[in-house]
Amino acid sequence: MLAGCGAGTCQVIVTTPMEMLKIQLQDAGRIAAQKKILAAQAQLSTQGGTQPAVEAPAAPRPTATQLTRDLLQSRGIAGLYKGLGATLLRDVPFSIVYFPLFANLNQLGQSASEEKSPFYVSFLAGCVAGSTAAVAVNPCDVVKTRLQSLQRGVNEDTYSGFLDCARKILRNEGPSAFLKGAYCRALVIAPLFGIAQVVYFLGIGETLLGLLQNPQP
C-alpha cells in the first residue's frame, strides 16, 4: 500500500497537465454548442420570430498546443496543475487499492509459491482490481473534473476548492452525482490494467530491453 501511494504520487506530477488539457478539449465542444443555442434564441427573440435566424459560423476548435500556450501565458506553470490536490486524492487512493488487491487476486492463481500465475489469471486480476479501484475513487474523479473545467456554461457553479465543490455537488445534484461515469471508467480501466499486467508478467518488456542491450550480430 505504501508502494502504491508513492507510485500514485509520482504519476500525478506527469498526468495532471495532461488531464487539464483533456478536460478543456472535451469541454470546448459543449461550451461552443451552448453558446450557439443561446445566440440563436437571442436572435429569434430580437426578430420576434418573423424571420429565419442566420446561423453563425462555428468557432474553430482549440488544439492541445493552443490550450497549453494560453494556460502558460495566463496562469503560468501553476495553470497546468490546477486541481492537483483533487488529482492526488483520486490517483493515490487508486494505487493504494489497486496494487494490494491485484497482488492478492493474482496470488490465487499460483499453483506453487515460486511459480508465476498463468497469464489469464494476471489479466483477470488486473481487470477486477482496476475496475474496483476506479469505482472506489470515482467521487474524487467527479470533483477533480469539475475543478479543472476552466470554462463554465450558463448557470454552472464556480468552486473555490475541493470541499466547496463536493458540498455544492451533494446539495444540487445529490449523492448519485459522485458515481457519474463510474461504469465507463470501469470499462476503460479494467482492460487497460489487465493488459498491462499480462505484458508485465509475461516479461515482454524485459525481453525487448534485452534485445536492445544485446543486439544479435
pLDDT higher than 80, residue 169: yes
Angle value at C-alpha 158, between 153 and 164, nearest 5 degrees: 145
The answer to whether position 21 is within a domain reads: no
The answer to whether position 34 is within a domain reads: no
Determine the distance from the C-alpha atom of residue 109 to the mean position of all C-alpha atoms in its chain, rounded to a whole number: 31
The answer to whether position 68 is within a domain reads: no
Query: What pLDDT band is residue 216 in, cutting at 50, 70 and 90?
Result: low
The answer to whether position 51 is within a domain reads: no
pLDDT reported for residue 94: 93
Nearest by Cα to 14 from 68, 65, 81: 81
pTM of the model: 0.73
pLDDT higher than 70, residue 214: no
The answer to whether position 45 is within a domain reads: no
Query: What pLDDT band is residue 206 in, cutting at 50, 70 and 90?
Result: confident
Determine the distance from the C-alpha atom of residue 60 to the mean position of all C-alpha atoms in its chain, rounded to a whole number: 25
Hey, what's the cell of 168?
A: 455544492
Query: What's the chain's average pLDDT?
Result: 81
Out of 26-35, 78-87, 169-178, which region has the weakest mean confidence (pLDDT)?
26-35
The answer to whether position 170 is within a domain reads: yes
User: According to DSSP H, which parts of 48-175 are helical?
Assistant: 64-75, 77-80, 84-107, 119-136, 138-148, 162-173
Task: Tell me the CATH number at 151.
Answer: 1.50.40.10
Q: What's the CA gap between 81 and 12, in Å, rounded? A: 10
Where in the sequence is the domain holding 149, given as residue range(s)?
83-204
- Is residue 53 within 8 A of residue 40, CB to CB? The reply is yes
Determine the distance from the C-alpha atom of residue 190 to the mean position of all C-alpha atoms in its chain, rounded to a whole number: 14
Please write the tens of the pLDDT for every residue from 46-60.
766 555 554 555 556
Which residues are within 8 A (CB) of 197 and not within 5 positions of it... i.e. 6 or more apart? 102, 106, 122, 123, 125, 126
Please write the tens of the pLDDT for every residue from 12-37.
888 888 888 888 887 776 766 666 77
Q: What's the CA gap between 34 and 46, in Å, rounded? A: 18
Mean pLDDT of 114-123: 81
Number of domains in the chain: 1
The answer to whether position 91 is within a domain reads: yes
pLDDT higher than 90, residue 127: yes
The answer to whether position 4 is within a domain reads: no
Q: What's the CA gap between 165 and 147, in Å, rounded? A: 7
Determine the distance from the C-alpha atom of residue 10 to the mean position of all C-alpha atoms in its chain, rounded to a whole number: 16
Q: What's the CA gap between 208 and 71, in Å, rounded? A: 38
Query: What pLDDT band is residue 4 in, cutting at 50, 70 and 90?
Result: confident
Q: How far is the CA of 197 from the CAs of 78, 135, 148, 208, in angstroms? A: 34, 19, 30, 16
